[in-house]
Amino acid sequence: MDLPGKPGSCWVANAPATSYPRFEQSDRADVAVVGGGIVGLTTAYLLMTAGCTVTLLEALKVGQQVTGRSTAKITSQHALIYADLIERLGLERARLYAEANHGGAEFIAGCARNLDIECEFERKDAYAYADRSQSRDAIEAEAEAARELGFAADVLDVAPLPFRTEGALRFTNQAQFNPMQYLVALARAISEGGGKIFENTRVDDVSRQRGGRRWQVKAARSYVTAERVVIATNIPMWGPIHFDVRLRPRCHTAMAFRTDSRSVVDGIFIGVDEPSHSIRMGRDAEGPLLIVLGESFITGHDGDVARRFRDLETWVRDNFSVREVAWRWVNEDYDSPDRVPYAGELSGKGSGMYVGTGFNGWGISNGTAAAMLIADQIQGLKNPWRALYKPTRRAPKDFNRGGDSQSIVDAIGRIAPGEGGVIEHQRQKLAVWKDESGTPRALSASCTHLGCTVTWNNADRTWDCPCHGSMFTCDGKVIHGPAVKPLESASLPSDA
């Protein structure tokens, strides 16, 4: 299905390429880190500078997955959150959340400055704006809660946007950047400091070494043996806690538009009313871009993601003066029940294993804070955020209810060239995709995590699991976990 713009993130396109080797020879380290996004790289950098030997394994390319597809806002303003946290978790825990995210944001600023990273870092005010007058009271309450927690927050009658708003909450002195440029530079600093980074290295298993206290991280036929292991993937795939039932996967669409002026908007914006939009400026090699995110949806629960891109383009053109679409992409996040991430050391059989996950769409500041916490714990240092982010805290069992495939069709003939669908054949569900010439190819439609039937994403041409958020390429390769194995190959029906 044709959509405007190049598929992919403008951040990835405007950052230097990386070329770290594939992991092929077994090794030992103090700490093994699985995942090359902002959590993994920040953790590895902090531990490397503290004198630990670190080996980081990335399944694809450094930074290009969740972090490289984010809106890249460096802010402690997470829409309307602090009044809710105070009500449900109490003032002190809400204060810890505020301090952790402020600390994460300022770490990025300091790192960019101290390492002289060219990453388009800019100080900007952050705005949570309302489309409806009924939301004004919520904005006022959030401002009061934020001020109680120490933020310089004020309420404006209108947001500085080119369309009508009904008030806005403003946090001053926040920031934005290009996350890929930042992570590529962080990876380079790790490598130059003696840390080891491997790309295109998918981890198959993480387990205790037989008869010992060390961990073994297996990738193909090789192992990293380490005293500590950090699982810094979008969702942890290993360990004693099943985060797939503690977290809910959700996606959002993003588009970057060419514009004649860099002053289309000045600030970073998030809507508080549904459908919500996130807005900021960015750039690529050809010039400034207006970047807008659409409303979120549960992964695999929409059979027509392309429609969301068309709707988002219509909304942007109705409200801004822009030219052509330059880039478009889909990103995935995981939400936790209490809006607080899970981060830190697991206990019991997971002792010596550390996780960072469930960032609720705010992984830049939260993810950096999680990495700071994990690095402190590994070094035996006290960290005030430990109890807040505790990964073993209780969670409701029914938070993630899963879902059904949205791509069931009754015949392969109903699948158009370039599209995919799920058919039932001899009591087996097949994920069938046709290339542009109309030639069909078949895979098992059962997600290799727990067997849920996948949904075809007609915008990204991926197979998405509606239960736990795994994503696969059209030919079945893993993009995101919790699945670690590709979709199994299958034979087409003889009459296809």
Q: Which CATH class name applies to 412-480?
A: mainly beta
Q: In this predicted model, what pLDDT tens digit does every residue of 138-160 receive, in sequence order?
A: 999 999 999 999 999 999 999 99
Q: In this predicted model, what pLDDT tens digit does every residue of 391-432 receive, in sequence order?
A: 999 888 788 888 999 999 999 999 999 999 999 988 899 999
Where in the chain is CATH 3.50.50.60?
10-154+164-249+331-400
Q: In this predicted model, what pLDDT tens digit does every residue of 184-194 receive, in sequence order?
A: 999 999 999 99
Check residue 427 and give its pLDDT: 85
Where in the chain is CATH 2.102.10.10?
412-480
Topology given in CATH for the domain delimited by 10-154+164-249+331-400: FAD/NAD(P)-binding domain (3.50.50)
* pTM (predicted TM-score): 0.96
Check residue 495 and give its pLDDT: 66
Could you tell me if residue 469 is left (phi over 0), alpha (psi between -120 and 50 degrees) or otherwise beta? left
What integer best gives the mean pLDDT of the chain?
Answer: 95
Q: In this predicted model, what pLDDT tens digit does every residue of 261-293 receive, in sequence order?
A: 766 899 999 999 999 999 999 999 999 999 999
